[in-house]
């Protein structure tokens, strides 16, 4: 389908790829991995055709339809759903032509256009677009809002839906999970697994790559190496290769010993059997990960923190929100010494609001939030990079909070975060997102917190930096609350989960696979009434957590099943009626008398059938979910 032969690529004077070969076959789902700056996005641009190689050839089969995600959207008045639909250029062309023909009352043209529109399944396009937006987290009443009313992250979701709706043989995605919450990541994985074309995706999310990819292309030292299998298969094969290199042997042995001790300690202390077994499985692969990333230049550990009180934070009937409107209500809980909690929930549910309240950035609307004496909070905000002064250097930024430490001590510390030599003296302004994220982590680690609050800490970090962060958090002896769409990080560092949704905060009993199944069950039972929640406990001292419990959704009712069957019957009838109307409109004899009222009557009938069909398809999709 697409073949790269002896391709070399330069950006400026830097050689990114040398003598690279790659064959993308139909149905392949290829993940591009490698450190930041190795040329993953440039390789994607080569495949797309927006870059040309400096040497070598790229062969493409003719007639291929290629879809990719635009990185920006202007402030346009067009609604979200209309922008998504316009991604299908053939649908947009036919739809515009139909509107012109209807305005001109051109029956002959309409007959042909309706036939072509039906052939591309155009009448169900809005329902399909709405389903994509729903899967990516948009509320049903928001899809008709203008694009300009959405924030940057939500606009990227709109662009992603637009690319998914467009008919394509090859789909190119560059970090598609960056602006998604975990709920939407789960949905996107399932969509991509069923995508019939070829996929090329750049991602630093190992679990996403595991679920989606059939092949991995690794970029390292200007070389492209293709592995068959998902990311875990790639790690295993690469580790075997590196194990043969004696230079890695001693480092890998030390790392294995450290990780084995950590696994044994966790197994002995585990109290929740279901979560414990899941986490032990995740931890068991750590020696393999360590071997794969043994040459990483980004390694660090948290400094010893002061002893923490127990509990660290307590909440009693807490209400949180903005502008007088409560987003979360009646939270009664405590964060205890040693807790390692992952927050689950869709974007907009209130995870960041809860984190900001725990960090003391936002004041509660009601209730009590008490922080015990001796608690030292380290807060990594979702937009932490914006807090860095672009005029600073890494050294001056650290000096502000470092106290009496010597310059050499600070430079040694920064070296562990990749700021080696003169990099410690360079201004922050031109740094990449990954470099700024490393510096923000360095400033956080220096403060030696005993309670870490991390809101999407892996944004801008590549796979190797994420693995180093996970390793440091495993050895962190304080309490931890984390929000992340990186499942590998959550599985490796969290012992329990709280779910934030529908204005509540609940303890979630289970692991991330249980959470995935819960989301799927809730989608299928979306029209069922929720079970009445239990009343939360009011005394945080008697239990670490006492909010509502997550209830299992009920199965679809007989009434819903009967309505689905009725819709399917009517849709079959409408399909037949549409075919009959189209055949009559296509008969040249109909237009012997251009003034015949029968022409207008048939056009009106066809429009009415189309409208009813679209409404029933939308209802059918909602009931099926």
Instruction: Give 617's pLDDT tier (boundaries 50, 70, 90).
Output: low
From CA 490, how far away is CA 482, in angstroms rounded? 8
Domain-located, residue 332: yes
From CA 106, how far away is CA 590, in angstroms rounded? 13
The answer, yes or no, to whether residue 537 has pLDDT greater than 50, is no
From CA 582, how far away is CA 576, in angstroms rounded? 10
Domain-located, residue 202: yes
244 plus 215 within the same structural domain? no
243 plus 343 within the same structural domain? no
Instruction: Give 555's pLDDT tier (boundaries 50, 70, 90).
Output: very low
- Please give the tally of structural domains in the chain: 4
Task: State the Cα torsion 468-470-472-474 to the nearest 10°.
Answer: -150
Phi-psi region of 27 (alpha: psi -120 to 50; beta: other; left: phi over 0): left
What's the confidence (pLDDT) of residue 249? 54
86 plus 43 within the same structural domain? yes
Tell me if residue 307 falls in helix, strand or coil.
coil
What does the pLDDT average to over 101-130?
89
The answer, yes or no, to whether residue 454 has pLDDT greater than 90, is yes
Instruction: Give 598's pLDDT tier (boundaries 50, 70, 90).
Output: confident
125 plus 77 within the same structural domain? yes
Mean of per-residue pLDDT scores for the chain = 82
447 plus 489 within the same structural domain? yes
Per residue in 244-277, pLDDT (tens digit) is 555 555 555 565 565 566 556 555 554 444 445 5
What's the confidence (pLDDT) of residue 318? 93
| Final residue in a domain of this structure, among 200, 235, 270 | 235
Query: φ, ψ for residue 24 (rounded to 5)?
Result: -105, 110
What's the confidence (pLDDT) of residue 134? 92
81 plus 29 within the same structural domain? yes
β-strand partners of 480? 340, 452
CA Rg value for the chain: 28
Of the CA atoms within 13 Å of residue 278, those in its CB half-sphere come to 21
595 plus 565 within the same structural domain? yes
The answer, yes or no, to whether residue 85 has pLDDT greater than 90, is yes
What's the confidence (pLDDT) of residue 333? 92
Integer CA distances (angstroms), 113 to 108, 124, 173, 475, 540, in order: 9, 15, 33, 65, 66
| Final residue in a domain of this structure, among 519, 534, 568 | 519
* Cis amide prior to 311 (ω within 30 degrees): yes
From CA 280, how far away is CA 270, in angstroms rounded? 10
Instruction: Give 36's pLDDT tier (boundaries 50, 70, 90).
Output: confident
195 plus 339 within the same structural domain? no
From CA 616, how far away is CA 425, in angstroms rounded? 64
- The domain of 152 spans 2-235
What does the pLDDT average to over 88-101?
91
Domain-located, residue 528: no
Q: What pTM does this model have?
A: 0.69
Are the C-beta atoms of 345 and 505 separated by less than 8 Å? Answer: no
User: Which pair of tokens denotes residue 567?
Assistant: 């819709």
Per residue in 208-234, pLDDT (tens digit) is 999 999 999 999 888 899 999 999 888
The answer, yes or no, to whether residue 116 has pLDDT greater than 50, is yes
Domain-located, residue 539: no
The answer, yes or no, to whether residue 73 has pLDDT greater than 60, is yes
Are the C-beta atoms of 34 and 220 separated by less than 8 Å? Answer: yes
Instruction: Give 433's pLDDT tier (boundaries 50, 70, 90).
Output: confident
Tell me if residue 75 falls in helix, strand or coil.
coil
Domain-located, residue 305: no
Per residue in 276-330, pLDDT (tens digit) is 555 555 556 555 555 555 555 566 778 887 888 889 999 999 999 888 888 999 9
Domain-located, residue 463: yes
Between 295 and 75, name the one with better pLDDT.
75
| Final residue in a domain of this structure, among 235, 261, 277 | 235
Domain-located, residue 46: yes
Q: Looking at residue 35, which CATH number applies to its domain? A: 3.40.50.300
The answer, yes or no, to whether residue 25 has pLDDT greater than 70, is yes
Instruction: Give 536's pLDDT tier (boundaries 50, 70, 90).
Output: very low
Domain-located, residue 296: no
Alpha helices in 120-171 (DSSP H): 125-135, 152-165
Per residue in 329-355, pLDDT (tens digit) is 999 999 999 899 999 998 888 999 999
Query: φ, ψ for residue 572 (rounded to 5)?
Result: -65, -40
What's the confidence (pLDDT) of residue 437? 86
Alpha helices in 494-557 (DSSP H): 512-524
19 plus 124 within the same structural domain? yes
What does the pLDDT average to over 502-515?
89
Are the C-beta atoms of 3 and 59 separated by less than 8 Å? Answer: yes
Of the CA atoms within 13 Å of residue 191, those in its CB half-sphere come to 20
In percent, how much of the chain has pLDDT > 70?
82
281 plus 358 within the same structural domain? no
What's the confidence (pLDDT) of residue 533? 45
Are the C-beta atoms of 327 and 365 separated by less than 8 Å? Answer: no
Task: Please give the order of strands across the beta sheet that includes 325-335.
Answer: 325-335, 313-322, 366-371
105 plus 159 within the same structural domain? yes
User: Which pair of tokens denotes residue 607?
Assistant: 């429009």
- Using the 8-state DSSP alphabet, how is residue 554 labeled? P
Instruction: Give 622's pLDDT tier (boundaries 50, 70, 90).
Output: low
Instruction: Give 165's pLDDT tier (boundaries 50, 70, 90).
Output: very high
Q: How far is CA 32 from the centre of its chain?
A: 17
257 plus 391 within the same structural domain? no
């Amino acid at each position: 389908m697409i073949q790269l032969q002896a391709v070399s690529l330069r950006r400026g004077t830097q050689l990114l790829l040398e003598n690279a070969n790659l064959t993308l076959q139909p149905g392949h789902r290829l993940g591009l991995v490698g450190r930041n700056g190795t040329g993953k996005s440039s390789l994607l641009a080569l495949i797309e055709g927006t870059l040309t190689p400096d040497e070598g050839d790229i062969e493409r089969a003719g007639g291929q339809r290629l879809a990719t995600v635009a990185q920006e959207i202007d402030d346009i008045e067009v609604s979200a759903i209309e922008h998504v639909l316009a991604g299908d250029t053939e649908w947009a062309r036919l739809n515009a032509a139909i509107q012109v023909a209807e305005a001109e009352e051109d029956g002959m043209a309409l007959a042909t256009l309706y036939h072509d529109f039906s052939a591309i399944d155009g009448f169900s396009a809005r329902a399909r677009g709405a389903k994509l937006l729903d899967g990516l987290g948009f509320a049903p009443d928001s899809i008709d809002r203008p694009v300009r009313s959405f924030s940057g992250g939500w606009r990227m979701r709109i662009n992603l839906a637009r690319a998914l709706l467009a008919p394509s043989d090859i789909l190119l995605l560059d970090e598609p999970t960056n602006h998604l919450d975990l709920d939407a990541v789960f949905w996107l994985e399932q969509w991509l697994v069923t995508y019939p074309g070829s996929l090329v995706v750049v991602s630093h999310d190992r679990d996403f790559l595991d679920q989606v990819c059939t092949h991995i292309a690794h970029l390292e030292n200007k070389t492209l190496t293709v592995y068959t299998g998902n990311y875990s298969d790639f790690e295993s094969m690469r580790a075997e290769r590196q194990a043969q290199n004696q230079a890695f042997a001693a480092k890998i042995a030390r790392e294995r010993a450290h990780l084995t001790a950590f696994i044994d300690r966790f197994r002995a202390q585990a109290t929740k059997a279901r979560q414990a077994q899941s986490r032990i499985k995740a931890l068991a692969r750590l020696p393999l990960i360590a071997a794969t990333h043994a040459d990483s230049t980004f390694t660090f550990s948290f400094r010893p923190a002061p002893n923490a009180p127990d509990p660290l934070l307590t909440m009693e009937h807490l209400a949180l929100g903005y502008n007088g409107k409560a987003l979360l209500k009646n939270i009664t809980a405590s964060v205890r010494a040693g807790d390692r909690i992952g927050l689950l929930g869709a974007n907009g549910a209130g995870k960041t609001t809860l984190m900001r309240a725990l960090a003391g950035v936002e004041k509660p609307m009601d209730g009590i939030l008490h922080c015990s004496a001796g608690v030292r909070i380290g807060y990594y905000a979702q937009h932490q990079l914006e807090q860095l002064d672009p005029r600073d250097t890494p050294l001056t930024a650290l000096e502000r909070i470092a106290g009496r430490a010597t310059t050499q001590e600070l430079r040694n510390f920064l070296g562990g975060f990749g700021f080696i030599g003169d990099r410690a003296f360079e201004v922050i302004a031109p740094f990449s997102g990954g470099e700024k994220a490393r510096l923000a982590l360095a400033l956080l680690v220096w403060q030696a917190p005993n309670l870490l609050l991390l809101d999407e800490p892996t944004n801008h970090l590549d796979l190797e930096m994420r693995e180093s962060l996970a390793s440091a958090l495993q050895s962190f002896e304080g309490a931890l609350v984390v929000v992340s769409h990186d499942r590998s990080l959550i599985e490796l560092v969290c012992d329990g989960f709280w779910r934030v949704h529908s204005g509540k905060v609940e303890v979630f009993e289970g692991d991330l696979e249980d959470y995935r199944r819960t989301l799927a069950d809730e989608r299928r039972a979306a029209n069922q009434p929720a079970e009445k929640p239990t009343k939360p406990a009011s005394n945080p001292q008697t239990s670490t957590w006492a909010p509502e419990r997550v209830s299992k959704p009920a199965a679809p009712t007989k009434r819903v099943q009967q309505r689905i069957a009725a819709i399917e019957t009517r849709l079959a009838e409408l399909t037949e009626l549409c075919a009959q109307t189209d055949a009559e409109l296509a008969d040249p004899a109909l237009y012997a008398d251009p003034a015949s009222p029968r022409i207008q009557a048939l056009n009106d009938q066809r429009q009415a059938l189309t409208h009813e069909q679209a409404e029933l398809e939308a209802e059918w999709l909602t009931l099926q979910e």
